[in-house]
């Protein structure tokens, strides 16, 4: 164990020394990416009540279906909105092709999102360097659930006229909606909820211990330098040993090398020291809790009543099947579905955490049944249900 930690320290030192000089200007590089799908979300900005502007990008359908509500796509911690669009035939395009207006968001601390006022302007300069932005340790996952989610819903309502949305969240993007639905006095604004790899409970496992150690190491590194920006040059060349970190994100055999390069160059962000501290408690106790520890989101899943689809990967390390099953069973909705993706269910391969969106197989194995599930629950849709809405077999309950 000591040797592994020593090797990890050497890897971190090498990463800092090798990448720090390459990081300046990376933010500008993103704004000038060769394709709009790789650029920060800037079609509009949702304003939070605590002083953030959240970037939003809109995907319009060729022929909008008036019976379908807008879809919001929310990324996870340490990533930005391009998470959804760095692959070909991605989910936003498939949703738009089925008649949905899609809103991809950059949550606080990511993409084009920024604080208002002088602080935001200063941080805009720091974002061009390997240095951390000011007050990056102040915001937490609670802030995202309390301020970001309502601001996004307000923006979509003003832009589209729809008072309800379909929310699709990956990882923390799903966990935030669980937290929001447990505490909001307006749960009706979420018509349907798709949770891809987001769990409120982490079952005991060796991977959980590894993630906790990695999270603590990342917190130390983030106190010195911007981890997101020093890693961006890895889009051009990756150093040996990086697969030990990559395994938490994706399965190398399922994801194209171009997608991996784009992940480092365009999608990876600073997680935020405050959010990482809260994540530390989550991994330590196994329960998602408020930043002050007084509210246990895992204990109040029964307050979630929106129709819910959970999408779980058989090879997901961050949100494994036992954790997904516990979270699923705790959700209070009478209309809930769990879809598992792996060889045991006849799929091409076992899906990892980001494989659910990035895998070369996801466009034809995951996206179609996900969209079909949404279609059945739209205001103007037929009430006929398909195979994916049948009651779960006893082995999955």
SS3 165: strand
As its CATH architecture, domain 11-379 has 3-Layer(aba) Sandwich (3.40)
**pLDDT of the residue at 176:** 97
Over residues 98-123, the mean pLDDT reads 94
**pLDDT of the residue at 389:** 45
Over residues 377-384, the mean pLDDT reads 73
Strands (E), the chain: 44-47, 52-59, 71-74, 102-105, 114-115, 165-170, 190-196, 308-313, 336-341
Q: Which of 51-60, 74-83, 232-241, 258-267 has the lowest mean pLDDT?
A: 232-241
DSSP output for 38-92 = GSPP-SEEEEPTTSEEEEEEEE--SS--TTS--EEEE--TT--GGGGTSSTT-HH
Structure tokens at 114: 């920024």
**pLDDT of the residue at 129:** 82
299: exposed, middle or buried (C-beta count within 10 Å: 0-12, 13-18, 19+)?
middle
**Domain extent listing, the chain:** 11-379
Q: Is the pLDDT of residue 393 over 60?
A: no
User: CB within 8 A of 73, min separation 6: which ones?
Assistant: 81, 84, 91, 92, 102, 103, 104, 105, 168, 169, 173
Mean pLDDT, the chain, rounded, equals: 88
Question: How do residues 184-207 score in pLDDT, each as one tens digit?
Answer: 999 999 999 999 999 999 999 988
Question: How do residues 251-264 score in pLDDT, each as one tens digit?
Answer: 988 999 999 999 99
Between 126 and 366, where is the model more confident?
Answer: 366
The pLDDT > 90 percentage for the chain reads 68
């Amino acid at each position: 164990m000591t040797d592994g930690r020593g090797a990890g320290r050497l890897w971190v030192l090498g990463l800092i020394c090798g990448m720090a000089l390459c990081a300046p200007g990376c933010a500008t590089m993103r704004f000038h990416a060769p394709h709009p799908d790789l650029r920060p979300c800037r079609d509009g900005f949702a304003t939070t009540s605590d002083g953030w502007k959240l970037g939003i990008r809109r995907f319009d359908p060729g022929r909008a279906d008036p019976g379908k509500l807008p879809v919001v796509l929310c990324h996870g911690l340490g990533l930005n909105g391009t998470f959804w669009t760095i692959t070909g035939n991605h989910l936003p395009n498939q949703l738009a092709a089925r008649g949905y207006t899609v809103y991809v968001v950059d949550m606080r601390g990511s993409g084009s999102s920024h604080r208002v006022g002088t602080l935001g302007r200063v941080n805009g300069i720091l974002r061009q360097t390997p240095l951390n932005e000011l007050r990056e340790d102040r915001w937490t996952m609670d802030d995202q659930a309390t301020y970001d989610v309502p601001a996004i819903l307000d923006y979509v309502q003003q832009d589209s006229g729809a008072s309800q949305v379909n929310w699709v969240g990956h990882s923390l993007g799903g966990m935030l909606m669980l937290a929001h639905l447990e505490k909001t006095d307006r749960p009706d604004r979420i018509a349907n909820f798709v949770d891809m790899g987001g769990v409120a409970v982490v079952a005991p496992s060796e991977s959980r211990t590894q993630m906790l150690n990695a999270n603590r190491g990342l917190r130390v590194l983030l106190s010195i330098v911007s981890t997101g920006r020093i890693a961006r040059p890895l889009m051009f060349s990756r150093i040996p040993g990086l697969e030990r970190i990559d395994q938490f994100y994706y399965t190398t055999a399922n994801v194209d090398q171009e997608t991996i390069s784009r992940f480092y160059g365009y999608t990876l962000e600073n997680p935020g020291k405050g959010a990482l501290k809260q994540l530390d408690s989550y991994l330590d106790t196994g329960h998602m809790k408020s930043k002050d520890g007084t509210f246990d989101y895992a204990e109040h899943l029964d307050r979630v009543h929106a129709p819910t689809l959970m999408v779980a990967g058989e090879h997901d390390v961050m949100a494994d099947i036992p954790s997904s099953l516990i979270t699923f069973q705790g959700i209070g909705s009478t209309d809930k579905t769990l879809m598992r993706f792996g060889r045991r269910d006849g799929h091409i391969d076992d899906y990892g955490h980001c494989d659910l969106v990035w895998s070369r197989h996801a466009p034809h194995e995951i996206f179609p049944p996900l969209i079909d599930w949404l279609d059945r629950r739209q205001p103007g849709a037929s009430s006929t249900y398909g195979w994916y809405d049948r009651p779960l077999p006893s082995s999955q309950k």
